[in-house]
């Protein structure tokens, strides 16, 4: 069932569905899923899982005992702050193991409005060694 991408050497376990599964959280919380993760951890350095959105379904919260860390993805201009806060408040296991937030689909043409501090912080001589200068 595993597919190895030849260029990077990444191993993928593709999971596609023709229709929604009614009780996917039960499958994710099952003993066979736990055993699969044990086997994956034994044979791989990192296991990255792409999960559905946190707010509308319980699948992510069910996975907190199998996943070490989470990256919270929010969509630029679409994900409301209060929805993101509420989702994280109600998923303590995710919040406690959160690595950070990823801003997805950012509109770079509008992004400049929020960079008024850019010249004073990232783009000065102290950060030039990290490549953060023009």
In a domain, 41, yes or no: yes
Question: How large is the average pLDDT for residues 23-46?
Answer: 87
Q: Does pLDDT of 8 surpass 80?
A: yes
In a domain, 16, yes or no: no
Residues spanned by the domain of 60 = 25-106
Residue-wise pLDDT tens digits, 42-93: 988 888 888 888 877 788 888 888 889 999 999 988 888 898 999 899 888 8
Q: Is the entire prediction scored with pTM above 0.75?
A: no
Please count the other Cβ atoms lying within 10 Å of the Cβ belonging to residue 54.
22
In a domain, 101, yes or no: yes
In a domain, 69, yes or no: yes
The total of structural domains in the chain comes to 1
Tell me how far apart the alpha carbons of residues 51 and 39 are, in angstroms, rounded to a whole number.
Answer: 19
Tell me how far apart the alpha carbons of residues 77 and 103 are, in angstroms, rounded to a whole number.
Answer: 10
Pair of tokens at residue 102 = 């990823």
In a domain, 80, yes or no: yes
In a domain, 119, yes or no: no
In a domain, 2, yes or no: no
What 3-state DSSP class applies to 11? strand
Tell me how far apart the alpha carbons of residues 90 and 85 are, in angstroms, rounded to a whole number.
Answer: 9
In a domain, 68, yes or no: yes
């Amino acid at each position: 069932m595993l597919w190895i991408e030849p260029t990077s050497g990444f191993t993928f376990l593709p999971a596609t569905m023709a229709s929604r599964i009614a009780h996917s959280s039960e499958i994710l919380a099952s003993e066979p899923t736990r055993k699969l993760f044990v086997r994956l951890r034994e044979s791989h350095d990192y296991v990255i899982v792409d999960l559905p959105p946190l707010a509308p379904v319980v699948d992510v919260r069910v996975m907190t005992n199998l996943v070490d860390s989470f990256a919270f993805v929010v969509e630029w201009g679409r994900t409301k702050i209060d929805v993101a806060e509420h989702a994280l408040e109600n998923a303590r296991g995710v919040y406690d193991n959160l690595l950070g937030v990823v801003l997805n689909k950012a509109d770079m043409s509008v992004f400049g409005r929020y960079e008024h501090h850019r010249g004073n912080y990232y783009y000065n001589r102290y950060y030039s060694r990290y490549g953060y200068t023009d």
